[in-house]
Structure 1
Amino acid sequence: MSTFQTALSGLKAASTDLQVMGNNIANANTVGFKSSNAEFADMYAAAVAGTSPQYGQVGIGTTVSTVAQQFSQGNISATSNPLDVAINGSGFFQFDYNGATVYGRNGQFQLDQNGYVVDASGGKLIGTPAVSGVLTGGSGPLQITETTLAPKATASGTLGLNLNASSTPIGSGTPFNMNDPTTYNYSTTTTVYDSLGASHLLTTYYALTSGSTDGQKWDVYYSVDGTTSSGSGITSGGPMTLQFSSTGAISGTASGAVGPLSWADGASGSTIALNFAGSTNYNAPSVVNSLTTDGYGVGQLSNLSIDPSGVIFGRYTNGQSAKLGLITLTNFKAPQGLQRLGNNYFVPTYASGLPLTGQPGAGGLGVLQSSAVEESNVDLSSQLVNLIVAQQAYQANAQTIKTQNQVVQTLLSL
């Protein structure tokens, strides 16, 4: 009767193999799915201590020793969702799923009604939150709450320009008048902001006062929203003077301050530091080569992006960006020891080891690719070929039972 048991063990093993491959094939289109392989081991009856088989050992069948999970990299495909994230390399996303901590590779994310980054099953993505654009260093579910970016008053600016050395000097004693272009040689306008986010136009005016073999001198005036200050200059004591050398480079003070400014909307008073370092005085048309200011108005969240290191950036309508959180990854010493939980989730076991969490790209962890997902690592071609082999193994074991049954019938007919 042992032959029946041997063949039956083969049937059970082949059936398990078919189930494993069937599950792989069924999840060929499941994002982040990792395939499994059924691994077999032969079985032998235990010998009596001190004796040995007369004719050598004869096996009593086979068994499925383990269903090994395969964590090879799946193909990465692009999507149109900026919150879709693919892991390129090792590691797992960490989720808070109904209060339990689980792990997975499916990076199809969206925002729920409370602003949490969740997957299709409702698991909240765990990472490092940010407060006011600064990562906290802690760990918890990632929530996008900063949908409005507070304004920032302009406090400084840098102007890199060329003032035409062939300009005609303004007559001595001619008072500056922003409405009279004959009282200055060049002007340029930029937008500045007060503490409430209101925009204002800051115009700077440049008047050539003298020129010599030692270089030219230019006076700098300003107006805000078409109104000059009481002193009509960059500083309260009068206009600022830019001194250039005979080679066209600034040779003296290159910075000044606009203000103090008061605003009719009730915003806090402002003083704006201007830096003209890098400006030149060449025989070429006056032009602004570079201009930067540090203020901005109120911004509404318009888009999200995720960089390869896992930082979630919010893009705002005022052209600014801010850090909203950091996606962390978790790896295990032996990921094959993880236990499947369904919904593309895994939970750690004693065999997998403790979770090791860090920033993507560090400590052997993979990097992230946004607007992309990792496809299933199931190779359909090899699975279909293996399916045929497993079917033949099942049929062969069934044939063994049939043959043994015929032998038994022959013996019974003697």
Structure 2
Amino acid sequence: MSFNISLSGINAASTELSVTGNNIANVNTTGFKESRAEFANMFQASSYGLARNAVGVGVKTSMVAQQFSQGSINTTGRSLDMAISGEGFFTLSMNGSQIYSRAGNFHTDSAGYVVNPQGARLQVFAPNANGNGFDVGAIQDLKLTGSDGPPKETSQVGLAFTLPAQAQPPVATPFDPANTNSYNMTSGGVTVYDSLGVSHTQTSYFVKSATPNEWTVHNYVDGVAVGTPTTLQFSNTGALVSPTDGLVSLDAFTPSSGAGVLSMTLDITGSTQYGESFALRNTAQDGYAAGKLDEVSVSETGVVIARYSNGAALELGQLALANFNNSQGLTPAGDNAWAESFTSGTPRVGAPGSSDFGSLQSGALEGSTVDLTEQLVNMILAQRNFQANAQMISTMDQTTQTIINMR
């Protein structure tokens, strides 16, 4: 019996050495969680139960428990490196099966999907169809679109100008944009965009009337008149009084590019009539052409934003984190990942920073939780334990030999 007791001690010490060795081997593994060998004593059971003064029959390994403590977060500056500060796991899809990980060293594959080094795809909540928020009931693979950023057609053109108060009506009539003597000044042309991202030029021509403080503005797109001339009225202090809201509606323009009809409004709010010279203080418009993907950023709440060369920003999804009632019940799947089990319970899925989920830090990775000094001490203790149990077997062997050699 004593031999078996000591043998169980040797097996326990060997298990602890293996666990410690595995921890030490993964001291630099991203997102690694150290394990701890947990042991329980054993007693010989009988139909009468355990005797009050029963002697134990050894030790057994009851569990190798992973410790899901927070690892140190180290900045990398790479946008697709992500670290969770707090509770939760990244949700990944590997060949249709969901797995979970704390390792956030992601990259894109040949198809543009965001994957871990083993090719498992990162999961996100899909954007709502109306572009407002995310559908927490729909989880999908995160894919960085390889196409151009979609264009946006211009709906409003803004002009801020100062017209000369002492201007005289043009010498040539009627107005003709090709005749510079038929107008006083021009905005010079503002680039606008149709629904296909094709650029066009919107130009405003200003004509002084014979009535004091009154002007007429003629608006053209690509040389085609868009609307009838609009009268501008200024007060005797130079402020714009008509149109009262500062908005001039332009007639629809049909591009030859095959794009949809371009309907725009000219906003001249803040324009004035002062002094002796014309000044175009500002031009603006709210459209843009198609753009190339410049960068991807991830917010603390896990929103993945693609930014394009045309200045547009598109939300591609929000990271779906998972948490469990019993994280230690997860089944290790290797490659820094775990799988759901009956012991862990079903996953609760949510966004970073919500409920009991931690926040997300982009451009950083969570390091291993292994404390090398602690593991070296554990190694020494396990070695002593192994030696002591081996010595116990040697002592029992000597005792047995003594009994056998009795005469």
TM-score normalised over the length of structure 1:
0.83
2:187 counterpart of 1:194 = no
Superposed, 1:223-262 pairs within 5 Å as 223-225=220-222, 227=223, 229=225, 236-241=227-232, 243=234, 246=237, 248=239, 252-262=244-254
> How far apart are the structure 2 equivalents of 1:133 and 1:317?
23
Residues 200-236 of structure 1, C-alpha deviation per residue, up to 9 Å, x if partnerless?
Answer: 2334455676999xxx6565444445x362xxxxx73
SS at match of 1:138: strand
Residues 353 and 278 of structure 1: is their aligned pair in 2 closer, same or farther, counting only changes over 3 Å? farther
* Range that drifts further, 343-352 or 111-120: 111-120
Contact 2:161/2:279, CA 8 A, preserved across alignment: yes
Residues 131 and 48 of structure 1: is their aligned pair in 2 closer, same or farther, counting only changes over 3 Å? closer
* Range that drifts further, 357-366 or 196-205: 196-205
What displacement does 1:19 show? Answer: 0.6
What displacement does 1:353 show? Answer: 0.8
Amino acid at match of 2:318: L
SS at match of 2:307: strand
What displacement does 1:278 show? Answer: 5.0
Match of residue 293, structure 1, among 269, 272, 285:
285
Amino acid at match of 2:192: V
> How far apart are the structure 2 equivalents of 1:51 and 1:372?
55
1:42 alignment partner in structure 2 = 41
Contact 2:93/2:99, CA 8 A, preserved across alignment: yes
2:357 alignment partner in structure 1 = 365
Amino acid at match of 1:331: N
> How far apart are the structure 1 equivalents of 2:153 and 2:341?
53
* Range that drifts further, 384-393 or 301-310: 301-310
1:389 alignment partner in structure 2 = 381
What displacement does 1:12 show? Answer: 1.1
Contact 2:232/2:240, CA 8 A, preserved across alignment: no
1:232 alignment partner in structure 2 = none
SS at match of 1:14: helix
2:268 alignment partner in structure 1 = 276
Contact 2:230/2:248, CA 8 A, preserved across alignment: no
What displacement does 1:47 show? Answer: 6.7
Residues 173 and 142 of structure 1: is their aligned pair in 2 closer, same or farther, counting only changes over 3 Å? closer
Which segments of 5 or more consecutive residues in structure 1 lack a partner in the other structure? 230-234
SS at match of 2:403: helix
2:87 counterpart of 1:95 = no
Residues 94-131 of structure 1, C-alpha deviation per residue, up to 9 Å, x if partnerless?
Answer: 22212322211222222223332222112122223458
Match of residue 70, structure 1, among 67, 72, 81:
67
Amino acid at match of 1:288: R
Residues 17 and 211 of structure 1: is their aligned pair in 2 closer, same or farther, counting only changes over 3 Å? farther
Which segments of 5 or more consecutive residues in structure 2 lack a partner in the other structure? none
Contact 2:27/2:370, CA 8 A, preserved across alignment: yes
SS at match of 1:202: strand
2:397 alignment partner in structure 1 = 405
TM-score normalised over the length of structure 2:
0.84
SS at match of 1:148: coil
Amino acid at match of 1:39: E
> How far apart are the structure 1 equivalents of 2:75 and 2:273?
51
State the identity as a percent.
39
2:5 alignment partner in structure 1 = 6
Contact 2:151/2:289, CA 8 A, preserved across alignment: yes
* Range that drifts further, 9-18 or 276-285: 276-285
Residues 41-70 of structure 1, C-alpha deviation per residue, up to 9 Å, x if partnerless?
Answer: 2223337738844xx343332222211111
> How far apart are the structure 2 equivalents of 1:30 and 1:327?
23
2:99 counterpart of 1:108 = no
Amino acid at match of 1:238: P
> How far apart are the structure 2 equivalents of 1:181 and 1:393?
104
Contact 2:216/2:229, CA 8 A, preserved across alignment: no
Residues 70-97 of structure 1, C-alpha deviation per residue, up to 9 Å, x if partnerless?
Answer: 1111222233543222222211122221
Residues 241-261 of structure 1, C-alpha deviation per residue, up to 9 Å, x if partnerless?
Answer: 154584957672311123433
Amino acid at match of 1:119: N
> How far apart are the structure 2 equivalents of 1:193 and 1:51?
87
Match of residue 374, structure 1, among 366, 374, 384:
366
1:314 alignment partner in structure 2 = 306
What displacement does 1:316 show? Answer: 2.0
> How far apart are the structure 1 equivalents of 2:331 and 2:193?
56
Residues 203 and 247 of structure 1: is their aligned pair in 2 closer, same or farther, counting only changes over 3 Å? closer
Contact 1:162/1:282, CA 8 A, preserved across alignment: no
